[in-house]
Amino acid sequence: MTQRIQTTMGISKAFKALVAMGQEVEKSGLDAGIDQIVLELIKIRASQLNACAFCLDMHTRDSIKLGEDPRRLFLLDAWRETDLFTEEERVALEMTEVLTRLADTQDLPDELYDRAMKVFNEPQYQAVVWLIVVINAWNRVNVPGRPKLPKHEA
């Protein structure tokens, strides 16, 4: 594989700002009452759609450390076909797909927004949208550089 320039830290102030933004968004989500697992599922699903191996590796490992059932991670790409995900998770996953594919979807449909309002309050909804923005930013910085995956012990 062609070795590429790593852009993640190439502009250190931008890197630090993205790290800080991610931390603030994550904290806001947790403070609003969103379970950490839901936040991780959002990061994983966006990273699947964007084919970001580095983020997939990081966030699936983080999820498992938090107690996530690996079976749910194995089936995440087919979440609609299972009953393994809560309504809150299903709405968050669908929002992730719609907003990650915004060039195709053009908008968050009113029907999905209405379902989101049934499972999220305003601060939770805002945190979900912002987290989708942040993970998509990380995917877009990582993918062009094809960063090597860190070594993990079995």
Region 83-105 average pLDDT: 97
Tokens 């998770």 belong to 89
Tokens linked to 49: 């759609």
Residue type, 44: I
Q: How does pLDDT run across 66-90, given as a tens digit for each residue?
A: 999 999 999 999 999 999 999 999 9
Region 33-48 average pLDDT: 98
Domains of the chain, first to last: 13-144 (1.20.1290.10)
* 108: DSSP letter: -
Cα dihedral sign for 112, 74, 37, 48?
negative
Contacts of 51 by beta carbon, 8 Å cutoff, 6+ apart: 143
* C-alpha to C-alpha distance for 154 and 150, rounded to whole angstroms: 12
Q: Are 68 and 40 in contact (CB under 8 A)?
A: yes
Entry pTM: 0.94
